[in-house]
Structure 1
Amino acid sequence: MPRRLTPRDRCVVIGAGGLGHIGVQVLRAIAPAELIVVDRNPDAVELARSLGADHGVVADGGQVEAVLDLTGGHGAEVVIDFVGEGGSTAEGVRMLRRAGDYHVVGYGEDLVVPTIDVISSEIGFIGDLVGSYNDLCDLMALAARGAVTLHTAKYALDDFRSAVDDLAAGRIRGRAVLVP
């Protein structure tokens, strides 16, 4: 869980897909910060906006500059990266303000940051895998009151190839689930 976010803070969420769309809803329910969502897919950005994100930025090459513009050139207090690949880590670090926290959830590439940049900017890196039992209880409470809903596309087990193809092509908003 990110540090306590205040109404003066900004939080960037990179990736509004499977897990990211849940993260946006949780953040909206528990944090008063301004939420900025970045995703390559315009439909995922629109889904995030409909779920409570204050701003949506399509990752089209100008996403770092767009986030910096939205934050007055300072960057966000917290960046949560649900992608962790395809350049998102380098871009996410550039979206972070001085003394900010970068939460890595997604994985797939190396996080490469010169140590002098970490020290001189006083930024922190936090790896988040699944959360605690209490985090799960909190998520279930939010879901029970309708503050968090799962957007899913269901596929039969024998139609798994279509699920994989749809995920690869960016046609899934939310999560893809295989059912018997």
Structure 2
Amino acid sequence: MRAKAYQLVEWQKPPELREVDVRDPGPGEVLLRVGGCGACHTDLTIMGIPPGFMPYKLPFTLGHETAGWVEAVGAGVTGLERGQAMLAYGPWGCGRCKPCRQGSENHCERVVELGYHGGGMGRDGGMAHYAIVPSSRLLVPLGSLDPRDWAPLADAALTPYHTIKRMQPQLVPGTAAVIIGVGGLGQMAVQLLRELTPARVIAVDMSAEKLSRAKELGADNAVRADDKAQEHIRELTQGQGAELVMDLVGSDATLKLAASVARARGLIALIGLGGGVLPFHFFGVPTECQVVAPFWGTLPEMLEVVELAQAGRLRMTVERFPLEQVADVYRRMHEGTLKGRAIITPHG
């Protein structure tokens, strides 16, 4: 069978929508008919990395937020039925090292040896009509959730969830969390903070429309990202700053703002890949404030995220696009004109 896939063929060159062979799944593998695949800023970063920077081999299909329906299974796979809606866990580890055995394939110790991080990151991902998942252990049932709307649970929800879970014991009544950038990822972060913690949720963005949406989703305060943002956030936190600052943009300007509004013994989470740099010195961040770069989340955490969505406690703001428009989607993402999470729906 032949089908289309959006593939990175040459480093630092535009990806191509190509015809590819769809092979039968091998032992332990699952073939998904892709329902939806979320477009992520990380994809733009992958498109721009220089040769040799990552251990990936070309070509490979982009897309690491993949959901769809079981089309076929390989030898040894049991418990799955054709047509069953599934969400693919993004990080594909070796399955044998200690982190993988603990469900933290995002921290697999053999990434360099394997030559990939997961589908869309060194191996074929979900920007295609069909996608092979290397093991049924990497699939989570969606139940009644539509793969065309909920594929971003695999990253846009999982990554902020992982960060928030880490800080949950500190986010008690009277504390605050700041989210810089309330696009697709930020909108999920707002809801997850609202669901998991009693902290004051402060959304920061340049777009009045996105700030309004953040308020609808549960943000307590909306702050425009201008030269008054630091002062405004300090006022909202009684001059103390926020226990958690999640930078979903990652530019020099947003990192500077994050450091200026974090609280002593707090945490700055750099999630956005805007290419910014945070200079580190003794007076560069508040006393004993941690700076971390979260990478996805664990498989058990993704199960929890899906359960939140199944319980109706999360809302996903999405825009659907056919596979033929994927290049235009990434152009709009670069321009910042998308309203929520763009999802490519190869089968309509």
TM-score (norm 1): 0.91
Q: Comparing 81-90 with 21-30, which one deviates more in the overlay?
A: 81-90
Counterparts of 1:121 and 1:134, CA distance in 2: 33
Counterparts of 1:50 and 1:136, CA distance in 2: 24
Aligned to 1:100: 266
- Quote the RMSD (CA, aligned, Å): 1.7
Q: Comparing 120-129 with 156-165, which one deviates more in the overlay?
A: 156-165
Contact 1:99–1:121 at 8 Å: present in 2 too?
A: yes
The 3-state SS of whatever aligns with 1:78 is strand
Structure of greater Rg: 2
Shift of 1:155: 1.4
Residue 112 (structure 1) aligned with residue 279 (structure 2): yes
Counterparts of 1:168 and 1:62, CA distance in 2: 26
Contact 2:259–2:284 at 8 Å: present in 1 too?
A: no
> 1:5-31 CA distances to partner (integer Å, 9 max, x unpaired)?
101100001111121111111111111
Aligned to 2:226: 60
Query: What is the 5 A alignment of 1:1-180?
Result: 1-2=163-164, 3=167, 4=169, 5-107=171-273, 108-118=275-285, 121-180=287-346
Contact 1:41–1:170 at 8 Å: present in 2 too?
A: no
Q: Which runs of 5+ in 2 are unaligned?
A: 1-162
Contact 1:6–1:32 at 8 Å: present in 2 too?
A: yes
Contact 1:13–1:36 at 8 Å: present in 2 too?
A: yes
| Paired amino acid for 2:197 | A
| Paired amino acid for 1:113 | F
Aligned residues: 179
> 1:16-56 CA distances to partner (integer Å, 9 max, x unpaired)?
11211111111111111010010111111111110000001
Q: Which runs of 5+ in 1 are unaligned?
A: none
| Paired amino acid for 2:303 | C
Counterparts of 2:338 and 2:298, CA distance in 1: 28
> 1:32-88 CA distances to partner (integer Å, 9 max, x unpaired)?
101001011111111111000000111122211111111112111111111112511
Counterparts of 1:175 and 1:149, CA distance in 2: 11
> 1:94-128 CA distances to partner (integer Å, 9 max, x unpaired)?
0111221111111222221323444x622111221
Structure (1/2) with the larger helix percentage: 1
Identity among equivalent positions (%) equals 30
The 3-state SS of whatever aligns with 2:250 is coil
Counterparts of 2:241 and 2:309, CA distance in 1: 31
TM-score (norm 2): 0.49
Shift of 1:170: 3.2
